[in-house]
C-alpha cells in the first residue's frame, strides 16, 4: 500500500478539464516531484490530497483510506498528516511569526501556550530563523516568509510535506537556501516530500522520482535519472519541456 494514491482522478471547472484520469502513487519516505507548466493543474492536484477539492470521479487514498469515506473528524486527522507550504506562503498577516508557526498546535493540540513556545522556537531554529517570533509577516523578505511557512508546516511533525512552488519569486541565493533546507528536512525528519514546481533545476535537486503533468494527464513518470538521460525519454513533449524550447509539439496555449 502506498502512502498516497490517486486512482483515476478527473476534475473539471466549468468546461475545462483540469485533471484527466490521473493515477499516481507516492511511497512513504520518498521525495517526489510533480512538474508542469503554469496552469497545468498542479495546485488543483495538491488540493485533492488534503481534501480541499473533491474529484468529479476517482479516488484519493491516504494511508489506504479513501478521503471520500471519512467523516469530518477523520478528515481533520488525515489532514494533520500533511504539512503544506502553500504557493504564496499564506501566512496570516495579523498574527506574529510565532503565532503563525504555532498555529496548528494552538488549533489542534491540548498544549498550553508555555508548552507551544519552545516548539515554535525549535521549528524556527530548524529553518534558520531563530528569535523572530515577535515579528509580523510584512516585516519579512519573501525568502524568510517561505521559511516561516516551512516552520509552520513542520511543527506538527507531519508524515508528508507538500511544497507548492517553494522557490518562485525568490532571489537565487535564497532559492539555494530553501532547496538545501528542503533536502535537509527530508533527510533529518525522514519525511515524505512532495514538491510541485515548473522549475526543473530546483525540482531535480530535491526529488528522486518525477511525474510530468500536461493537459490534465501525466505524460511521464519515472526516476530522476530517466529524465536526465534524453535517450530514455520517448515523448517529444517531455524533451521539449526539459530543453525549455519554444519550438516543439507543446504549443503556447497547452498547459
Ligand atoms: N476553483 C477554481 N475554479 C475554476 N477554475 C479553477 C479553480 N482552481 C483552478 N482552476 C483552473 O484550473 C487550472 C489549473 O490551475 P492550477 O492552479 O492547478 O495550475 P498550476 O499548475 O498550479 O499553475 P501555477 O504553476 O501557475 O501555479 C487553471 O486553468 C485554473 O484557472
Ligand atoms: Mg500552482
Give the pLDDT confidence of 104-142 residue by residue, as tens digits: 999 888 999 999 999 999 999 999 999 999 999 999 999
**213 within ligand 1 shell (Cβ under 6 A):** no
Phi-psi region of 204 (alpha: psi -120 to 50; beta: other; left: phi over 0): alpha
Q: Which residue is listed with cell 509539439?
A: 249
How many domains does one find in the chain? 1
Instruction: Report residue 207 CA to chain centroid gap.
Output: 12
The winner for highest mean pLDDT among 52-56, 245-249, 250-254 is: 52-56
The pLDDT of residue 112: 94
**Stretch 9-25: mean pLDDT, rounded?**
95
Strand boundaries in the chain, DSSP class E: 4-13, 16-26, 31-36, 57-62, 65-66, 82-85, 160-164, 192-197, 209-214, 217-223
* Integer CA distances (angstroms), 188 to 11, 19, 85, 123, in order: 36, 33, 18, 13
- Structural domain harbouring 227: 1-81+192-255
In a domain, 39, yes or no: yes
Residue nearest to atom 31 of ligand 1 (CA): 39
* Integer CA distances (angstroms), 233 to 26, 96, 237, in order: 21, 48, 10
**216 within ligand 1 shell (Cβ under 6 A):** no
In a domain, 12, yes or no: yes
Cα 82 to ligand 1 centre (Å):
21
Determine how many CB atoms are found less than 10 A away from the CB of residue 181: 18
**pLDDT tens digits for range 202-251:** 999 999 999 999 989 999 999 998 888 878 888 888 888 888 878 888 87
Atom of ligand 1 nearest to the CA of 36: 21
Residue nearest to atom 10 of ligand 1 (CA): 13
CATH of the domain at 18: 3.40.50.300
**pLDDT tens digits for range 27-46:** 999 999 999 988 899 999 99
pTM, 2 dp: 0.93
In a domain, 146, yes or no: no
Amino acid at each position: 500500500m502506498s502512502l498516497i494514491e490517486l486512482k483515476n482522478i478527473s476534475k473539471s471547472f466549468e468546461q475545462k478539464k483540469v485533471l484527466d484520469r490521473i493515477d499516481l502513487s507516492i511511497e512513504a519516505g520518498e521525495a517526489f516531484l510533480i512538474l508542469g507548466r503554469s496552469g497545468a493543474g498542479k495546485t488543483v492536484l495538491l488540493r485533492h490530497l488534503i481534501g480541499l477539492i473533491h474529484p468529479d470521479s476517482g479516488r484519493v487514498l491516504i494511508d489506504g483510506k479513501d478521503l471520500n469515506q471519512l467523516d469530518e473528524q477523520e478528515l481533520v486527522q488525515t489532514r494533520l498528516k500533511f504539512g503544506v507550504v502553500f504557493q504564496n506562503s499564506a501566512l496570516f498577516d495579523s498574527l506574529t511569526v510565532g503565532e503563525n508557526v504555532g498555529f496548528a498546535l494552538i488549533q489542534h493540540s491540548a498544549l498550553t501556550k508555555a508548552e507551544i513556545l519552545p516548539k515554535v522556537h525549535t521549528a524556527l531554529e530548524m529553518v534558520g530563523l531563530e528569535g523572530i517570533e515577535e515579528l509580523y509577516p510584512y516585516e519579512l523578505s519573501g525568502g524568510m516568509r517561505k521559511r516561516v511557512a516551512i516552520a509552520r508546516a513542520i511543527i506538527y511533525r507531519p508524515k508528508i510535506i507538500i511544497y507548492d512552488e517553494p522557490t518562485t519569486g525568490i532571489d537565487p541565493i535564497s532559492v539555494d537556501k530553501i532547496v538545501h533546507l528542503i533536502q535537509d528536512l527530508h533527510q533529518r525528519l525522514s519525511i515524505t516530500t512532495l514538491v510541485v514546481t515548473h522549475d526543473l533545476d530546483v525540482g531535480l535537486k530535491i526529488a528522486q522520482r518525477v511525474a510530468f503533468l500536461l493537459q490534465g494527464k501525466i505524460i511521464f513518470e519515472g526516476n530522476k535519472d530517466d529524465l536526465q538521460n534524453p535517450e530514455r525519454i520517448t515523448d517529444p513533449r517531455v524533451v521539449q519541456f526539459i530543453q525549455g524550447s519554444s519550438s516543439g509539439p507543446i504549443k503556447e496555449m497547452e498547459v
